[in-house]
Structure 1
Amino acid sequence: MVEQQFATVDDYIDSFPDEVQLVLSQLRQTIQQAAPGAGESISYHMPTYATGDRPLIFFAGWKTHVALYAVPAFDGELEAELAPYRAAKDTLKFSLRQPVPFPLVARVVGELVETRGSA
């Protein structure tokens, strides 16, 4: 199977069905608000946000879920809240059958901005 190449995040989001586009657009907006000034691009075939030349976070849409990548383990309460969404060591997976916890996503991105440097 050949992976589709996307020139922009808009192209990426537009490649999904309408209901998934809505969730991906909300995810994009949440990340942009939590990391103002972060650069937006496509890397590894998915939307990527970076501060300076350092990747901050990636997101992707799938048939039954959306996911955030390069999310390290956090200490304490935040990690406990993320536990139900951990799909792998550095992946958070949110089912499309449940509301995506956008405030939690914003907290994660905010923590990443703090630990990896502001935009």
Structure 2
Amino acid sequence: MAKTDYKTIEQYHSTFPSEQQDRMQSIRNVIHSIVPEAEEVISYQIPCFKYKGYFIYYSAYTNHISLSYPFSEALLKTFDKELKKYKVSKSAIQFPNKEALPLDLIKRIVAFRKKENEKT
């Protein structure tokens, strides 16, 4: 794998086909609509947002886009039924590129993460 040194989310996005760029931008827009004060950074060479600490990440791959963070048991339990159709681990949710992004679900996950970070 080639070594990368992304400095901005735009640099990261620019390395993907336009369809994936659009999908990532949709997630980015959702994050900013829920947490307008979120700071954009690159962490682990992927897009990351900080709000009262590290908040949420996303990244693109050949077959999916991942929304990631070490998700709490509370978050995974809250969205358990809706997440059953996706590949989910404690730290990532994979949304297949062949399906429309579940933007309503992503909005609710982002809002949940915001509340979690506000408690710490």
Q: Which runs of 4+ in 1 moved over 4 A?
A: none
Q: Could you tell me how far apart the structure 1 residues matched to 2:46 and 2:80 are?
A: 24
Shift in alpha-carbon separation, 1:86–1:116, aligned structure 2, 3 A: farther
Identity of aligned residues (%): 24
CA displacement 1:78-104 (0-9 Å, x = unmatched): 222123224312210000000010110
Q: Could you tell me how far apart the structure 2 residues matched to 1:92 and 1:110 are?
A: 16
Aligned to 2:2: 2
How do residues 8-87 of structure 1 correspond to structure 2 at under 5 angstroms?
8-52=8-52, 54-70=53-69, 71-73=71-73, 74=75, 76-87=77-88
TM-score between both structures, scaled by the size of structure 1: 0.89
SS in 1 for 2:57: strand
Shift in alpha-carbon separation, 1:77–1:88, aligned structure 2, 3 A: closer
Q: How many residues align?
A: 117
Q: Could you tell me how far apart the structure 1 residues matched to 2:97 and 2:33 are?
A: 22
RMSD (CA atoms) = 1.7
SS in 2 for 1:29: helix
SS in 2 for 1:12: helix
Q: Could you tell me how far apart the structure 2 residues matched to 1:15 and 1:30 are?
A: 21
Amino acid at match of 1:37: E
TM-score between both structures, scaled by the size of structure 2: 0.88
CA displacement 1:10-53 (0-9 Å, x = unmatched): 1111110111111011111111112220111100000000113x
Could you list the runs of 5+ residues in structure 2 that have no partner in the other structure? none
Amino acid at match of 2:88: A
Q: Could you tell me how far apart the structure 1 residues matched to 2:87 and 2:49 are?
A: 20
Shift in alpha-carbon separation, 1:90–1:83, aligned structure 2, 3 A: farther
Amino acid at match of 1:5: D
Aligned to 2:109: 108
